[in-house]
Structure 1
Amino acid sequence: MALAGTLLPIALAIIMFGLGLSLTISDFRRVVVYPKATVVALGCQILLLPAICFGLVIAFDLPAALAVGMMLLAASPGGTTANLYSHLFGGDVALNVTLTAINSVLAVVTLPLVTNLSLSYFDGGSGTLGLQFDKTLQVMAIVLVPVAAGMAVRAMAPRFAERMNTPVKIASAVILALVIAGALLQELDNLGGYIQSVGLITLAFSVISLTIGYWAPRLAGVRRDQAVASCMEIGIHNGALSIAVALSLLNSTQMAIPAATYGVLMFFTAAGAGFLLRSRTAEPILSEGSSV
């Protein structure tokens, strides 16, 4: 756990720095260009998914630590992997970048809020909150500061930022994999039971997230390519952030299990959703605000 507490925030900081290398101020301004698509996607991500996840947790009657881990996962913003999947399956990648940028900023508030409420509820109503003000500041430090630094580097040295994009991603992936493997080895005896407990619920949550991510925008009259982007953004959560908060700030390997399990399953469910959407009969692109 000491190793995770030291290296995981570093790995996450590298990941968020890499995200910053791909962002510009215009990515935040683009919300004006896609108002309906942005509002619908963020509403699903911030309000609807945590509510659905809470219902799933109650229905599956998870132990407290795993229940909080699921809620932590639901409160996490979309991951950068969503951009790749959106590109592969015909989504509006510019919208993905905008949603990731905005949601990563909002997560500084929403993630501690959902986590604290979940800890309070599933801890038998004792009112013990796990992310006090100092730890909330740590969330801000490992999310916003590296993103801002990456954006600054891109603004000052765009060519250098492009060259560093791939090495930064590789470095973060290697460190993250080592830390997660080490943390899971500490719970090796209980690992099978954990996965058995959360495998089905994480699969259900992934499928529901992808489904809502596509159909909520479509029913709101959003263009199909933007709905695909929303599908991937909402359906692919930032599991690394969930794991980092669970291991380094909450000091709980059990709370990291749902995100670790989800992190494996979501590659397959997101790919399946992408192929299903791509195989649908080609339809003309609708202008935003027109009927489905």
Structure 2
Amino acid sequence: MDPVLATIALPAVLAVIMLGLGMSLTAADFARLLSHPRVVLLCLGCQIVVLPLACLGLVLLFDPAPPLAVGMLLLAASPGGTMASLYSHLFGGNVALNVALTAANSLIAVVTLPIITNLALAHFLGDDGTLGLQGDKVVQVFAVVLVPVAVGMLIRARRAGFAARMERPVKAASVLALAALITGAIAQEWARIGDYIVAVGAMVLIFNVLSLATGYWVPRWAGAGRPEAIASSMEIGVHNSTLALAIALSPALLDNTEVAVPVAVYGIVMLFTAAANGFILDRRHTRRRDRPGKEGASSHDSGM
């Protein structure tokens, strides 16, 4: 990737996105986590433990090139993205829970993401000292994620009206930035893109569907309501691809275009699968509600 784009544009884009996330958060959002403790614990458990292990299983099964394997684990370690709240809103999820989960996941990922990524780098590429998220790089991840979020929350607390006006433009800029990052990553490896799609396409799709399904059914089986399960599904299935791309492509961090390939593919695939997931959940819920004897069914009734 072009050095100017990588060293200036990437950090700036990520800072804007995380600043926008911060401007959508308040201290009350974290307090909402206490309203659904079981769903929160299940969601975080799936995000932090279950999905990285499932992703590792897929990587061992498909046996892609080592940098692609690292990219898959980096993706699995990334927190939920802000797009999760949009999909949750469109399909009847508990958006407040999404916001709270995104906040919690983003904070926890500051610790878990470097750990999982370092383990993947050591296992698949060898610990040669040229790659990794060690020492000062972990501090950089911490800074690029938490500092803009904290600034955004401060702006929301001091200038609520300004934060509300900026919410839509920042979301639009985030979508455009993600598209630009994906395009740049694909263009960099255009000559090998066919090979990459063959290598990671099926693996990425399976992982995405597994993420969405796990996020929905685990809370449902634990007795959670349908809106909370939808929120969990979107939170777990819609990863923060921009954060993962920035870490993969930034010269200050991994600086590896191949590592970014699975993330770029996932960033495209998840937009369609998340929408399809929402439509399936909504259609099944409608059919169940309209069955004889099911009129007036509560939001706890089943989805997908």
Q: Which residue of 2 aligns with 1:257?
A: 261
Q: CA deviation at 1:191?
A: 1.8
**Partner Cα distance (1:193, 1:259) in 2:** 15
Q: How does 1:109-258 map to 2 (within 5 A)?
A: 109-124=111-126, 130-248=132-250, 249-258=253-262
How far 1:174 moved relative to its partner?
A: 3.3
**TM-score (structure 2 length as normaliser):** 0.90
Given the alignment, which residue of 267, 270, 285 partners 2:271? 267
Which of these residues, 19, 25, 28, is aligned with residue 27 of structure 2? 25
Structure 1: 5+ residue runs without aligned partners?
288-292
Higher mean C-alpha deviation, range 56-65 or range 159-168: 159-168
1:286–1:76 Cα change, 3 Å? same
Contact 2:55–2:76 (Cα < 8 Å) also in 1:
yes
Normalising by structure 1, we get a TM-score of 0.94
Q: CA deviation at 1:285?
A: 3.1
Q: CA deviation at 1:111?
A: 0.5
Q: Which runs of 5+ in 2 are unaligned?
A: 290-296
1:131 deviates by 0.4
Distance 1:133 1:52 in 2: 28
Which residue of the partner structure matches residue 299 of structure 2? 285
What CA distance in whole angstroms lies between the structure 1 residues aligned with 2:51 and 2:190? 30
Q: How big is the alpha-carbon RMSD for the aligned residues of Structure 1 and Structure 2? A: 1.6
Aligned partner of 1:43 in structure 2 is: 45
1:117–1:129 contact (8 Å) kept in structure 2: no
CA contact (8 A) 1:153 1:161 kept: yes
**Partner Cα separation in structure 1 for residue 222 and residue 47 of structure 2:** 15
Identity across the alignment (%) = 57
How far does residue 273 in structure 1 lie from its aligned partner after superposition? Answer: 0.9
Deviation at 1:195, TM superposition (A): 1.8
2:139 is paired with a residue of what secondary structure?
helix
Distance in 2, matches of 1:25 and 1:140, equals 20
Inter-partner Cα distance in structure 1 for 2:38 and 2:237: 19
Supply the distance in 1 between the matched residues of 2:96 and 2:177 (Cα, whole angstroms).
28
Q: CA deviation at 1:166?
A: 1.8
Residue deviations 1:123-154, cap 9 Å, x none?
24768760011111111111100111111001
> Which residue type is aligned with residue 183 of structure 2?
A
